[in-house]
């Protein structure tokens, strides 16, 4: 339908256009049942690294990228082009054009190093940020990590109707009749690729969303992951709420958790600071009849407290209905304590007399201070069953006894609980721990970042038992996910690795100002204000260094932690831009300079990303500090084998050969953990966008 409407809009006869459109509208209203949406013409891709030449498919840099032309002639900086839809001829300057690829047309990616930060030179752990359209980044990641990702956390555009996301290089807003179907079409293509990346035996997909699309998203996840467990959490992100005209003030969002294979979703590991166990009041609270003497008469009995040493002397029997608290016998130097409420009404204890006596004997009962102004003269507390179970299992340690005979115990440093599906935690406040934290790091450059601790909690639940987990966020935004992964690693000594992907879009307002000044996408002035360069990477660098954008040390500690923000993280990260090569310009020997970062990522990002200074026709590349090697010329295998087999730092190898039998014979003579075959033609190895 969307494609049909695009075609209808090209009809010059206005009467005919309106009549056809009216009939199409009638058909559109007949759709029924389930999640039905338009599968829109997929996005085109701008290939800024590919030169414009005769025969190129191109688009204007500052126009809709799916308005496609073919270059017919080039004369200096002038190109004659033909529109593929209208067949009209137009003249443009070459520098106003960008080469493009339509969906299904092969493109050839590489990773261009932009920057890096090394704050842990002794660590082999490196995180990565990739500036790219996430669809093509996911296609490349499929080659690199198919079935290996343990957790995907994404915070996609919410499709609120504001200009918060683009489709085919054009903002989608509330006036777009196909806003929802474009969003679903965009999400479906990316989630299908994400599914191929997830570990099929044990992994978790986490997707945040608000009420605009949560119903559609839930149905889409049901469709794409039919064999999974699917849960949705409602989470408070702003207790003050977002005011909206003629609608409820919104305080919450939703989080979908998709458990793949044997993944357990909902377990949360709590790290304590060696806290004392929690004591609960023995006197029942509440207003129901069961919390008063009249409803539970057997739970109304005296507990005699020795006024000299503050311990329990005796536990009396429950009072009969015709008895009052003044009818009980007196014991020398003791105060008879009943569950009397502050208003003078008679409540009841939480435990039966027999259980109270047992708890006193075991030290699970505690006597508080004398309170002369209270109706109940001593506060009495006890340990609940869950805490007692932790003590008797040995998880919670008894370290001594108080003067009243009650135990002194320390709760475990870590414990696992099952979360509820309704979250209301102050640490998840997006204003306090999202916006304010980001402003502290880099200034006011990004709207509505997630709370650092909300993201950390989600990722921790998915990777609590995987200290070496691989985590991916392909809607990286301000970079909260990598920040959260570094925080988790610092707290529990983990070695989780994070890959973030984000485009380099500028805001709608910034785009207008840049265009007014004569700048276009691809220009330095434009690109430096894009989200990857302006927000995601600066936040990553600042959080790792422990300094703000101006170089000043950060103040304070991370929440509920002894970790000072100024200490930063013992962590390393590198920043790439996903580029595309002209297939006619790729020559054997040159390809490895462009390809080395891809091979480095394929082998697990061990050590700093290597580079080649030139494009020599090498016979091999030996990189023990990166734990891999590449054999380029088969005739050099004997020398290659000696180098690989005598250096136990090399764990993985790439063999360039078109012969599968030859490849197998060579790897059988190598003492390595993993090997990969590369074809001699770069184009055969890394062709993407073709649905392979």
Q: What is the pLDDT of residues 77-108, one digit of tens each?
A: 999 999 998 999 999 999 999 999 887 778 88
- Mean pLDDT, residues 139-166 taken together: 87
**Dist CA 159 CA 231 (whole Å):** 22
Q: How far is CA 236 from the centre of its chain?
A: 17
Alpha helices in 172-301 (DSSP H): 179-197, 214-224
To which H or E segment does residue 7 belong?
helix 2-8
Contact 421, 231 (CB under 8 A): yes
Most confident of 9-23, 242-256, 483-497, 671-685: 483-497
Residues 343-357 pLDDT 10s? 999 999 999 999 999
Mapped onto helix, strand or coil, the DSSP state of residue 240 is coil
Of the listed ranges 70-74, 248-252, 591-595, 618-622, the one predicted with least confidence = 591-595
Residues 558-613 pLDDT 10s? 997 889 999 999 999 999 999 888 777 665 445 678 889 999 999 999 999 999 87
> Which residues contact residue 251 at a Cβ distance below 8 angstroms, ignoring those fewer than 6 apart?
236, 237, 238, 239, 240, 241, 242
Give yes or no for residue 150 having a pLDDT over 90. Answer: yes
Contact 411, 272 (CB under 8 A): yes
Contact 151, 203 (CB under 8 A): yes
pTM, rounded to two decimals: 0.75
- Mean pLDDT, residues 648-653 taken together: 96
Q: What is the DSSP letter of 585?
A: T
Contact 151, 609 (CB under 8 A): no
- Band of the pLDDT at 1, cuts 50, 70, 90? low
Q: What are phi and psi of 311, to 5 degrees?
A: -105, 170
**Dist CA 208 CA 458 (whole Å):** 10
Mapped onto helix, strand or coil, the DSSP state of residue 107 is strand
Give which of 520, 566, 517, 516 is closest to 543, Cα–Cα. 566
Q: What are phi and psi of 417, to 5 degrees?
A: -125, 160
- Band of the pLDDT at 29, cuts 50, 70, 90? low
Q: What's the mean pLDDT when you consider all of the chain? A: 89
Residues 306-346 pLDDT 10s? 999 999 999 999 999 999 999 999 999 999 999 999 999 99
- Band of the pLDDT at 73, cuts 50, 70, 90? very high
pLDDT value, residue 202: 95
Residues 534-556 pLDDT 10s? 999 999 999 999 999 999 999 99
State the residue for tokens 């979360």. Answer: 419
**Dist CA 453 CA 458 (whole Å):** 9
């Amino acid at each position: 339908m969307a494609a049909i409407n695009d075609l209808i809009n090209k009809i010059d006869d206005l009467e005919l256009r309106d009549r056809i459109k009216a009939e199409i509208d009638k058909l559109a209203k007949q759709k029924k049942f389930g999640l039905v949406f338009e599968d829109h013409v997929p996005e085109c891709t701008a290939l800024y690294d590919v030169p414009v030449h005769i025969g190129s498919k191109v688009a204007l840099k500052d126009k809709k990228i799916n308005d496609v032309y073919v270059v017919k002639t080039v004369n200096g900086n002038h190109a004659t082009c033909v529109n593929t839809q209208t067949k009209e001829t137009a003249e443009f300057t070459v520098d106003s054009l960008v080469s493009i690829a339509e969906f299904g047309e092969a493109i050839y990616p590489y990773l261009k190093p932009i920057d890096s930060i090394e704050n842990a030179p002794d660590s082999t752990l490196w995180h990565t940020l990739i500036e790219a359209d996430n669809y093509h980044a996911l296609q490349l990641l499929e080659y690199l990590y198919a079935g290996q990702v343990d957790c995907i956390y994404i915070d996609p555009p919410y499709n609120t109707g504001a200009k918060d996301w683009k489709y085919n290089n054009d903002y989608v807003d509330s006036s777009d009749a196909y806003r929802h179907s474009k969003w679903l079409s965009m999400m479906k293509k990316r989630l299908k690729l994400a599914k191929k990346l997830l570990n099929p035996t044990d992994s978790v997909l986490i997707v945040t969303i608000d009420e605009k699309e949560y119903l559609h998203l839930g149905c889409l996840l049901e469709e794409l992951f039919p064999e999974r467990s699917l849960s949705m959490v409602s989470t408070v992100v702003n207790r003050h709420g977002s005011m909206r005209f003629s609608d409820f003030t919104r305080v919450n969002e939703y989080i979908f958790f998709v458990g793949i294979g044997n993944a357990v979703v909902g377990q949360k590991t709590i790290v304590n600071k060696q806290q004392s166990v929690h004591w609960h009041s023995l006197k029942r609270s509440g207003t129901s009849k069961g919390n008063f003497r009249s409803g539970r008469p057997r739970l109304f009995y005296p507990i005699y407290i020795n006024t000299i040493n503050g311990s329990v002397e005796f536990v009396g029997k429950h009072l009969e209905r015709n008895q009052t608290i003044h009818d009980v016998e007196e014991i020398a130097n003791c105060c008879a304590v009943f569950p009397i409420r502050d208003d003078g009404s008679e409540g009841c204890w939480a435990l039966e007399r027999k259980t109270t006596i047992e708890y006193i004997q075991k030290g699970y009962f505690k006597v508080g201070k004398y309170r002369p102004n209270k109706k109940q003269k001593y506060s009495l507390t006890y340990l609940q069953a869950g805490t007692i179970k932790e003590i008797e299992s040995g998880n919670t340690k008894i370290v001594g006894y108080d003067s009243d005979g009650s135990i002194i115990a320390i709760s475990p440093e870590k414990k696992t609980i099952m979360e509820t599906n309704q979250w209301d935690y102050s640490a998840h406040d997006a204003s306090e721990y999202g916006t304010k934290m980001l402003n502290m790091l880099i200034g006011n450059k990004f709207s509505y970042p997630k709370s650092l601790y909300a993201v950390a909690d989600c990722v921790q639940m998915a990777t609590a038992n995987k200290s070496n987990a691989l985590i991916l966020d392909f809607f990286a935004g301000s970079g909260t996910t990598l920040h959260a992964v570094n925080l988790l690693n610092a707290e529990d000594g983990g070695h989780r690795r994070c890959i973030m992907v984000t485009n380099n879009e500028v805001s709608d307002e910034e785009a207008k100002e840049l265009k007014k000044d004569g700048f276009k996408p691809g220009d330095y002035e434009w690109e430096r204000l894009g989200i990857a360069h302006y927000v995601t990477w600066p936040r990553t660098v600042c959080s790792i260094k422990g300094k703000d954008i101006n170089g000043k040390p950060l103040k304070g500690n991370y929440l509920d932690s002894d970790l000072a923000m100024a200490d930063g993280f013992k962590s390393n990260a590198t920043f790439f831009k996903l580029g595309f090569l002209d297939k006619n310009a790729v020559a054997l020997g040159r390809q490895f300079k462009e390809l080395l970062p891809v091979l480095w990522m394929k082998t697990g990002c061990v050590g700093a990303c290597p580079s080649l200074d030139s494009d020599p026709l090498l016979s091999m590349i030996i990189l023990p500090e990166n734990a891999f090697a590449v054999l380029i010329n088969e005739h050099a295998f004997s020398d290659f084998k000696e180098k690989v087999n005598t250096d136990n730092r090399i764990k993985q190898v790439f063999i360039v050969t078109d012969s599968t039998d030859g490849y197998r014979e060579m790897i059988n003579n190598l003492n390595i953990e993993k090997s990969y075959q590369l074809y001699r033609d770069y184009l055969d190895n890394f062709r993407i966008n073709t649905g392979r």
